[in-house]
Amino acid sequence: MSGYTVAVVGATGAVGREALEILAARRFPVARLRALASPRSAGLRIGELTVAPVAADAFDDVDIAIFDTPDDVAEAWVPVAAERGALVIDNSAAFRMAPDVPLVIPEVNPAALRRAPRRIIANPNCTTATIAVPLAPLHRAAGLRRLIACSYQSVSGAGQAGVSQLWSEVRDAAASAAPPAAPGGAAFRHAIAMNVIPAVGSFRGAHTSEEVKLGAELRKMLDAPDVAVGVTCVRVPTLRAHGVAVHAEFSRPIAPEEARAILASAPGVEVMDDPAAGRYPTALAASGRDPCVVGRIRTDGAGALAFFAAADNLRKGAALNAVQIAEAVVRDGFLSEIRAG
């Protein structure tokens, strides 16, 4: 069989399982597929695959390794995979801000794929991806200067543990007809069922790690180092798809009609914007789907362009984007160049 040897590291997790499904659904040319995870999962079956523990020789002959593991695991194993000759596409935050690691969304900055001297390409954070896809064409048209954003992030953004905690609390709440008295898991510090939590990630002074990532990653991908970004990230009790309310100022004003026209022809964006008919992006409208869905496009009371964007955090926010990167490097002939070093 012709095709590539692909390893998915973190194959048992929320993103890893999605990556396996997307590789199959998009018919990525896979000759051999390796599902890797921690030693805890060794021997577990995922469809026809048997999970193996991550190990150096598991990367022998691997063309592309998609990493869907926590940051510390990526820090330890991504260099090993790259050293053994694989192109690594990493979903963790471990390498995103390294100057010699491209941080890429194919619809936003595909040219950055040309230069991956460490054989590592990073995927952005899922909240960043949700707004970078629609902001990129608006930025190209009018120059983004300042951004205020508030996120509404699903529990799967915290992995399988987040999903399990919400279901456990929902069952208890339904049985007792009362909000949960205590967290039903360790993914979130507070109960998440029937709650919203204005803290995603860990605190870095007054801001959270998620809030810091959003500004830094957006500036890197848009190549817009001077854009001022103010963010509040909030966890909400949805299963998947992150929503973000965006208020953006540009070097010249963009009227809602112009923004709608730009977004309607932007790759990866679906405009869903007929509020009177109840058509605007919701988490469920974006769940299990590929596009970043954008609506509520308007000029806000302060003169900024406002919109609401929603995208599936496990797909465009992670696994889909990784597979699209793999497709792009294969299609554009960069894979052999990058692997040759």
Of the candidates 307, 341, 340, 339, which has an alpha carbon nearest to the alpha carbon of residue 326?
339
Closer Cβ to ligand NAP, 67 or 250, answer by number = 67
Nearer to ligand NAP, 12 or 287 (CB): 12
DSSP secondary structure of 151-173: EEE-GGGG-HHHHHHHHHHHHHH
Active site annotation includes 292? no
Spot the catalytic one: 126, 233, 247, 292.
126
Minimum Å distance from CB 281 to ligand NAP? 17
For residues 39 and 253, which CB has a smaller minimum distance to ligand NAP in the complex?
Answer: 39
DSSP bridge partners of 231: 149
CA distance 69 to 53: 13
CB of 67 to ligand NAP, least distance (A): 8
Identity of the amino acid at 300 = D
Per the rule left: phi > 0, alpha: psi between -120 and 50, beta: everything else, 303 is left
User: 22: helix, coil or strand?
Assistant: helix
> Between 164 and 299, whose beta carbon lies closer to ligand NAP?
164
- Closer to ligand NAP by Cβ: residue 233 or 304: 233
Using CB positions, name the residue nearest to ligand NAP.
13
Interaction site with ligand NAP (CB under 6 A): 10-16, 37-38, 40-41, 54, 68-71, 73, 91-92, 126, 156-157, 159-161, 313-314, 317-318
Annotated catalytic residue within 233, 242, 247, 292: 242
SS3 per-residue string spanning 48-69:
CEECEECCHHHHCCCCEEEECC
In angstroms, give the least distance from the CB of 45 to ligand NAP. 13
- Pick the closest to residue 328 from 107, 128, 140, 63 (CA basis): 107
Strand order in the sheet with 292-299: 228-235, 144-153, 242-250, 305-311, 292-299, 269-271
CB-wise, 133 or 271, nearer to ligand NAP? 133
Least separation in angstroms between CB 314 and ligand NAP: 5
Rounded Cα distance between 234 and 60, Å, is 41
Q: Do 167 and 240 touch, CB atoms closer than 8 A?
A: no
Asked about 126 being catalytic, the answer comes back as yes
Q: Tokens for 334?
A: 């960069």
Q: Which residues pair with 305 in a beta bridge?
A: 248, 299
Q: Name the minimum Å distance from CB 37 to ligand NAP.
A: 4
Minimum CB separation from ligand NAP for residue 127, in Å? 9
Among all residues, which ones are annotated catalytic? 126, 242
